[in-house]
Structure 1
Amino acid sequence: MANKEIIAKAYEIAKEQYATLGVDTDAVLKKINEIKISLHCWQTDDVSGSENPDGPLSGGIQATGNYPGKARNVTEVMADLEKVMSMLPGKQRVNVHALYGDFSKGKVDRDRISVKQFQGWIDWCKKQDIGMDFNGSFFSHPKAGSGFTLSSKNEEIRKFWVEHLKRSREIAAEVGKQLGSPCILNTWIPDGSKDTPVDRNGMRSLLTKSLDEGMAQKFPKEHMKDAVESKVFGIGAESMTVGSHDYYLGYAIKNNKLICLDNGHFHPTEVVGDKISSCLQFVDEVLLHVTRPVRWDSDHVVTLNEEVQLIASEIVRNDFINRVNIGLDFFDASINRIGAYVIGTRATQKAFMIAMLEPTSTLVRFEENNQNFERLALLEELKTKPFGAVWDYYCLQEGVPIGEDYITEIQSYENEVLSRR
């Protein structure tokens, strides 16, 4: 167990060191709680959902591994999320997919879902005093079997998914209204072609038509905000993805929507951190899906790496916190799922704290004076500053496990709860 007295002393030393750089660590400890991370409910059960929990995943969705103890129903999903949040400093949010509704009174197809199936989630969020985000589920469904949903040339299928989009937006608006916090409604579809297509334009024209129809109804922004998410390719859609980055960026700009940037949805040499300031020149807000692509969009558990650090730094350096909505999107079925959440969320939080501990004004002055040696030297020296002491003190203040203490707490939860499922 962490020694609280030692942690407090270490913080005072770190505070003095950062002060010599002009950084107020006490102010950072207050500002860091402005970062709200939306926890994706689908890490609890490998994207199975409550609609058809034993059904196969499809539409480019794949979770690998079969670690014991995954959530089997919405009640267990909520319990696991509560456990996760108890080990995270600050208040976060939850992100729910449409296939995680309450279908205990009978199955409701996706073109007929309503707030009734998600009132339990809203009530749970009220108890947790957190906000909630929402996603339409355009995969793992018979009417997505062809590989096309909103861009389908089968009018019956296209209309089905347009109605699902409409219903999802209505649910999101009611979520935001009841919780008093805007619900981000993200739309991602798996549509694409396994081999080289001919009519790319036809598919994208249909997608535009569907989005326009599905998003025709206006809702107050204090209740819900629309986001659209691009992807380079998916399983079964290797040759062409209808909803490319170019397509959705254009749609978002033209229609004043949020563009969702998932750092696993681009070519391996593209950097999402570099896209944030570009997109925010032309759209009001962006949505982030923070993940860790290994060899591409594999959705590994987030770790504190350079890519995540650049994302956080760009947001903090430019005071974009109020214009960027942060969500997680990874699912690892090969390790303890609660541990995956805690590692990934805390890694993201750490990246933001490191960004807040940066003497940005000094670095910008070096840059503007063409003092590139000094800029690089200071950036390198910052890497060994005692950030960990500030992080541990933050956890101490928030009353959550410090350092590696969360490991034993998760092991206990596994022995007492997960192993009995």
Structure 2
Amino acid sequence: MLPKTIRTISERIAIAALLAAVPGVQASPSDAVVAQATLVIGQARIVHADGRSSWVERGSTIRVGDAIHTELGGHVHLRFVDGALVSVRPSSRMQIQSYAYSADQPQAGAIKFKLEEGVMRSITGQWGGAARERFRLNTPLAAIGVKGTDFVVKANDHSTAAAVFTGAITVASLQGECGRGLGSCQDGRLLSADMKGQMIEMLRLQGMPQLAPAEDFMVASLPQAVARTGVDHRARPLGDAATLAAAADKPLLSESRLAGAVTSALAETQASDAGTLHWGRYAWAQPLSGDSFSQQVDAAMLSAHERLAGNGAYTLLRKMEGSQPIAYAPGAGVAQFQLTGAAASVVRPADQPLEPVSISAATLKVDFDKSRFDTRLQVQGPQLGQDVVQAAGSIDALGQMRAASGNVSVQGGLSGNGREAGYLFQKAVPSGMLQGMTLWGR
């Protein structure tokens, strides 16, 4: 057996040769290197086609047939030979079933992933962009085709959900010819980046993909307590840089950017540490009009929060006690809340600017005895004119708020002591989609 240093050099030469290859016939047999791990946080294994497994380390090479299994708190970034990027989130299992491309014989190429469980993000590379009809990501329930895309998928045996950052995807039931083929299925449902605030969701009992309000899969998949205190297979404690890397997927962070990002995030966390509820905003999300109080999601996650609600751009986070969620014990009676922060805009297609929206005459009443809430906002914008947001709904045992009636979609939550509240709202209007977030206190 070659010494480890020589093996590592050989593997890197193999990757360099593939990257330098002229686009003619480019194929990837089962023993060819197709990707390299560029960032590894926590524990993750490569499970090879023959059943052998090994720990994933930075620089580990990946071949067709390999599967990445991340454990609780584990996180892996992969860079493929054509420039494609894949991020495998904690507690996930993803396999590379095919990775090949031929410009002269496109029917001979195929890029095929399988997400058995968990969350992954995929940014299409040169090969996938040149042969979109030969790119496929399968989950236990769904077949996903791409159209030159950056997207994220969450899957298990009971459901599949996908959201798009750029480009578009199609999602179809993994049945019949669709399950055996590649690319987009004929009956697939389209989701594009222009469809702001939406995702495609497919449930096992449902059988067909449906549009739904977007969730922020990346925060939901991060086990904060483990990310802060877990250890890797060499028993090294995960530090703040590891936590930030695990929390951030957009853009995919390189190791050279982590130190500066951590310093900035820690400063922002310390500057915004008052209160129990916080709004986190992803770096790629355009701020809503009036947003002077949200913080970067990366910073919020460094100080251990649990997620109460989210729409893919913003997420409502509740501070934990150490590594444990705060027990929801709000007391009894009826309370009137005062608005302490609000931001709203009318969101239009990607090539049009957001329309600023102001909020006034805001009310929120919570009946803790009945676990119910009622809220009303008056909104106004240059093209929107005057409108009203009105909703009523329930509060579950964890303090999460969901609207059951009214003219708007609402999701949010309360602090453990019931003295703070916050919610997202979304409503279709003639000029686009009205979206906003609020914070309340009493």
> Normalised by the size of structure 2, how large is the TM-score?
0.29
**Larger relative contact order (Cα-Cα within 8 Å, sequence gap ≥ 6):** 1
Hey, which of these two has a bigger chunk of strand by percent?
2
Larger radius of gyration: 2
TM-score between both structures, scaled by the size of structure 1:
0.30
